[in-house]
Structure 1
Amino acid sequence: MNGFEIYKKMDDDVQAIYRSRILTEILLSLNEGSRKLSQLREITGSTSQALIPKLRKLEADHLIETKEHEYFLTQTGKIVASGIADSFVTFWTINKFKHFWLRHYLEGIPSPLLKEIGCLYESEVLKNRGMKILNVYNNQLRMLKEADHIYGISSVVTKGYADSISERVKEGISIELIVPFHVAEELKQSPYVEKLAALKSYKNFKLMLMNEDIKVGLIVTDKRLSLNLYKKEGVEYDISTGLFSSDSKAIEWGERLFWYCKGKADFTKFQ
């Protein structure tokens, strides 16, 4: 049974929640913690007469319960409320950055990470424009300079990136980088091959080869996330626009993306 068929079979229960502002707000509020009736009145802007029938419905559906005049989510209620909250955050993130998503190649992001794209809602899109022709690049270099550890997926290589990475490695910062084949070929050329040779003895540096073409550019540190994508057609890497965040959920999302790709990478060829 697919999602549409399930929706049709459960339409009364499912639609009742999404149709009702009060039901939705009660569940989202209780997803943050227990509430008294007076608190729910304040949060929803509704009267007790409007709230009580909704609360009784949620109790009848075993989604909430009361203890000492406070309302709590049941275990199944927590699952439902969390799913509702996640769906709203996902829609919000898609809408907030809709021009960024529409103009870029999302197929480069693995499906499991796309499903969690709501984690990026506390981000901002930076662009190169006007006098800030290197805005994205300079922000990324600043990230590298301020980091205490660095994970990266590189779809492009520049002398500035290479110099920053080399400097941080020599300072003792732990750095792990993943590159696709086309970047690996560039790294075999001067001046990159010499820089790599100088880093071979550093145990805090790992350079790994991805066994497939990567269509993302990622820098994730202990402090910030930077995400670049290919343009819509999936041919040209977009260095002029990037998504940046210092939010902990976004950073964790970036780490999961890195570890997902690392599971498909091979670093023995660079040792």
Structure 2
Amino acid sequence: MNHFEIYKKMDDDVQAIYRSRLLTEILLSLNEGSKKLPQLREITGSTSQALIPKLRELEADRLIETKGREYFLTSAGKIVASGIADSFVTFWTINKFKHFWIRHYLEGIPSPLLKEIGCLYESEVLKDRGMKILNVYNNQLKMLKEADHIYGISSAVTEGYADSISERVKEGIPIELIVPLHVAGELKLSPYVEKLAALKNHENFKLMVMDEDIKVGLIVTDKHLSLSLYKKEGIEYDISTCLLYTSDAADD
């Protein structure tokens, strides 16, 4: 059964939630934690008379339950509410960065990453501007320099990145990298082959090769996340633009 067939079978239940502002708001608010009726009134801006029938409806569907005077999500309700929250965050992320998405090649992004695209909703678009012609590149090198651990997917390689990675490996920083076949081929050539040879005895460094045409640049550290893509035609890697996320911990 495909997704469309599942939707058709669940049509009434799905639309009941998405078409009802109150049902959606109740589930999303309880997804953040238990709530009492006065709290739900304040969050939704609705009266008790409007809320109570909706709460009973969700109780009948075994999505919420009451303990004392508090409303909680059931185990099934947590799954449903999380899915709803994820769908809204995904829509928000696509809309917020729509100019970034339409100017880049998305077909080269691995499916597991596409499913997590909503996680980028608090990111910002970083660009090379005016005299800052290496703004993106320098910020990414700074990310590597400040990281306590590094995970990455690379569909392009430069000496600057290779030197930064090599330096951090020798400092003992855990690093795991995934590269597609065409990058693996480049790494067998000078100057990269010599740099890799110098790292072969470092257990904190892992390099994995994927037999897949990955067209994405992803750097994930304990403080930052950077996503770079190919330009729309899927031929040229865009080194001048990326999505950059900085965690709260990095601001402390």
TM-score (ref. length: structure 1) = 0.83
Q: CA deviation at 1:37?
A: 0.8
1:217 maps to which residue? 217
Query: Residue 123 of structure 2 aligns with which residue?
Result: 123
Aligned to 1:138: 138
Question: What's the CA shift for 1:123?
Answer: 1.4
1:152 aligns with 152
The alignment's TM-score, normalised by the length of structure 2, stands at 0.89
Q: How does 1:52-131 map to 2 (within 5 A)?
A: 52-131=52-131
Equivalent residue number for residue 208 of structure 1: 208
Residue of structure 2 in register with 1:186 after alignment: 186
Distance 2:202 2:75 in 1: 49
Contact (CA 8 Å) 2:226, 2:243: kept in 1 or not? yes
8 Å contact from structure 2 (residues 110, 214) kept in 1:
no
Percent of aligned positions that are identical: 87
Amino acid at match of 1:68: G
What secondary structure is seen at the aligned counterpart in 1 of 2:190?
coil
Q: Deviations over 1:18-63 (max 9, x none)?
A: 1221111111111111111111110001111211222222222222
Separation in structure 2 between the aligned mates of residue 73 and residue 213 of structure 1, nearest angstrom: 42
Output the CA distance in 2 between the equivalents of 1:243 and 1:61.
40
**Structure 2 CA distance for partners of 1:10 and 1:219, relative to 1, 3 Å:** closer
What is the distance in 2 between the residues matched to 1:86 and 1:98?
Answer: 18
* Secondary structure at the counterpart of residue 230 of structure 1: strand
Q: Tell me how far apart the structure 2 counterparts of residues 7 and 209 of structure 1 sit (CA, whole Å).
A: 37
Name the aligned partner's letter for residue 14 of structure 1.
V
Any idea what SS the aligned residue of 1:142 has?
Answer: helix
In structure 1, the partner of 2:13 is 13
User: How many residue pairs get matched?
Assistant: 248
Deviation for aligned residue 1:96: 1.4
CA–CA distance in structure 1, aligned partners of residues 171 and 80 of structure 2: 48
- 3-state secondary structure, aligned to 1:7: helix
- Runs of 5+ consecutive residues of structure 1 not aligned to the other structure: 249-271
SS of equivalent residue, structure 2 residue 43 = helix
Shift of 1:195: 2.6
1-structure distance, mates of 2:9, 2:152? 45
How far did residue 72 of structure 1 move?
Answer: 1.5
Q: After TM superposition, give the deviation of residue 171 of structure 1 in Å.
A: 1.8
When structure 1 is superposed on structure 2, of 53-62 and 82-91 the one drifting more is 53-62
